[in-house]
């Protein structure tokens, strides 16, 4: 009984990095070759790629890199950026949850209730700053990685 090989299978194998034969210069033993996978002879592989839909099709190189390049020659600790809309929204949401209002200096009266509100607001601001710092660090790292990868 003859094997049945579909054009879509071969195209998928090429997309996944398989070469036509193990002797191809881009051959990777971890990925394999079409010749090995389907147990074909070199002649059969040659005939296979004479199909109109497979003519000229090449092995695709994997797009995933096996490394992440980190530039450790520069520091980005003193970078000051405007907070993103997500951070502002998170801060406002926290303030609403704590029912805290922003008071003008002239309106602040040193009552126990208002002092508690100011303390709660300080906690919200501190949490907001922590969220902002974490986001800025993440965004800076992502930008550096993208710059280094040329994106």
Question: pLDDT of 25-66, one tens digit each?
Answer: 889 888 999 999 999 999 999 999 999 999 999 988 766 777
Q: Domain limits at 113?
A: 85-149
Residues 97 and 128 in one domain: yes
Taking the whole predicted model, whether its pTM rises above 0.85 is answered as: no
Question: Tokens standing for 108?
Answer: 């602040």
* Distance between CA atoms of residues 106 and 55, nearest Å: 80
Q: Residue 35 burial (CB < 10 Å; 0-12/13-18/19+)?
A: buried
79 within domain boundaries: no
41 within domain boundaries: yes
> Is 145 or 53 the better-scoring residue by pLDDT?
53
Domain count, the chain: 2
9 within domain boundaries: yes
Residues 103 and 144 in one domain: yes
> Is 135 or 119 the better-scoring residue by pLDDT?
119
Last residue in a domain, options 32, 63, 94: 63
Report pLDDT digits (tens) over 92-103. 777 777 765 554
Residues 3 and 48 in one domain: yes
Q: Is 41 helix (H, G, I), strand (E, B) or coil?
A: coil
Q: Which of 147, 145, 138 is nearest to 81 (CA)?
A: 138
Cβ–Cβ < 8 Å for 42, 22:
no
């Amino acid at each position: 009984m003859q094997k049945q090989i579909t054009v879509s299978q071969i195209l998928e194998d090429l997309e996944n990095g398989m070469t036509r034969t193990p002797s191809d210069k881009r051959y990777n033993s971890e990925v394999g070759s079409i010749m090995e996978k389907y147990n074909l002879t070199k002649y059969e592989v040659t005939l296979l790629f004479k199909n109109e839909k497979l003519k000229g099709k090449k092995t695709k190189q994997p797009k995933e890199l096996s490394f992440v390049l980190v530039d450790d020659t520069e520091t980005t600790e003193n970078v000051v950026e405007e907070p993103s809309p997500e951070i502002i929204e998170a801060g406002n949401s926290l303030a609403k949850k704590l029912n805290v209002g922003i008071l003008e200096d002239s309106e602040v009266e040193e009552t126990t209730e208002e002092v508690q509100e100011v303390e709660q607001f300080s906690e919200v601001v501190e949490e907001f700053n922590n969220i902002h710092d974490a986001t800025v660090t993440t965004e800076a790292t992502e930008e550096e990685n993208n710059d280094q990868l040329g994106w």
